[in-house]
Amino acid sequence: MATTMANEKNTRHGLDVKQPVAERISQQPIEKPLTQVGMPHRIVTLLPSATEIVCALGLQDQLVGITHECNYPNSIVDRPIVTQSTIAKGLSSQDIDLKVRDHLSDNSALYSIDQALMSKLEPTVIVSQALCDVCAVAESEVKAVIENLNIKPRLLNLEPMSLNDVFDTILMVGKACGVSKRAEKLVQQGQQTIRDVEQRRANLPSKPKVAFLEWIDPPFNAGHWTPEIIELAGGIDCLGNKHQPSRTISYEEIQAAAPDVMVVALCGFDEQRAAMDMDILKSNLDWASLPCVKNDRVHVVDGNAYFSRSGPRLIDSLLIMEDILWR
């Protein structure tokens, strides 16, 4: 089993994953002041990908509040934290899944927002999502908090299902915060990287079947943009649903798919935490018979930093996937 470290350098394509695409762009000089009507914004982000978008656009100085899960870039980790999870730390993957299902079945919140802190921060822009109540604070919770704020901020809901949708969210945030040109440049560089990968992987004689797992106990396949990333990198997702939500699958489905490559990138887990669940996967499969095991093509990836967050680092995720499939 190989571990694909997020800080390795991909010498084949000259990609230094230590400095992602978005970070390289955000370090470039800003052409115009990041203000609207002469005043800087006060931005609160309610999911990690929103934080990464805001920072990639050079707006980190206007970021006044983040979530308990926002940890990138390092320069923002000292910002006030406005959310907390109702699920205790240290639970097993199975227990986490059961807790999530319990909350969803009785419509109780998985996350809470600190109303008093939000009032103190006086945000003018809140960047949230309306796609998944498991991934971040539910839209209904956000709207309830806004109703109790004296100054009503602008709410931007991000709902990407594809890479093009992710680019659209970057443009939306850029326009709302007065940095449209910077957003356009970020998107153009991401699109160029995609074209470069497509060109390198055109006319392949064969493509490997890829099993991408977002969770192990129980197993979840990849959804949304991840099957698209696999396809662009020159593989075939044998379990996922392109531009559709991920879903619970059976171990039998994984076995029957007989993947040539397996990528384990568990949502919210880094490599070390994901590796702790590999014995569960092995014990529920005829492990030694899988082609990916026979050929030593099982990769554990940092699913907290890459693939799961719908922000600029999905471009780096594409390059990581290309490296996994063809290095």
Torsion angle in degrees (nearest 10) through CA of 307, 309, 311, 313: -40
- pLDDT of residue 45 exceeding 60: yes
Q: Say what the pLDDT of residue 11 is.
A: 33
Higher pLDDT, 266 or 10: 266
Q: Say what the pLDDT of residue 277 is.
A: 97
User: What number is the average pLDDT over the span 132-144?
Assistant: 79
Q: Say what the pLDDT of residue 326 is.
A: 95
33-178 shares the fold of 2-16+203-326: yes
- pLDDT for 306-319, tens place per residue? 999 999 999 999 99
| Cut 0.85: pTM above it | yes
Q: Say what the pLDDT of residue 31 is.
A: 39
What would the two tokens of residue 137 be? 């604070």
Structural domain boundaries of the chain?
A: 2-16+203-326, 33-178
Alpha-carbon distance values, 72 to 22, 49, 306 (Å): 11, 9, 11
Share of the chain above pLDDT 70, in %: 85
Q: Say what the pLDDT of residue 15 is.
A: 42
Closest CA to 306 of 295, 297, 315, 294: 315
Q: Say what the pLDDT of residue 23 is.
A: 52
- pLDDT of residue 17 exceeding 90: no
Closest CA to 270 of 312, 303, 234, 294: 303
81 forms beta bridges with 66
Residue 167's pLDDT band (cuts 50, 70, 90): very high
Q: Note the CATH number of domain 2-16+203-326.
A: 3.40.50.1980
Q: Say what the pLDDT of residue 263 is.
A: 98
Contacts of residue 3, defined as CB under 8 A and 6 or more positions apart, other chains included, come to 271, 275, 299, 300, 301
Domain 33-178 CATH class label: alpha beta
Q: Say what the pLDDT of residue 108 is.
A: 63
What would the two tokens of residue 201 be? 């992987």
- pLDDT for 172-230, tens place per residue? 999 999 999 999 999 999 999 999 999 999 999 999 999 999 999 999 999 999 999 99
User: What number is the average pLDDT over the span 54-80?
Assistant: 97
Cα 165 from chain centre: 13
Q: Say what the pLDDT of residue 14 is.
A: 37
Q: Say what the pLDDT of residue 30 is.
A: 40
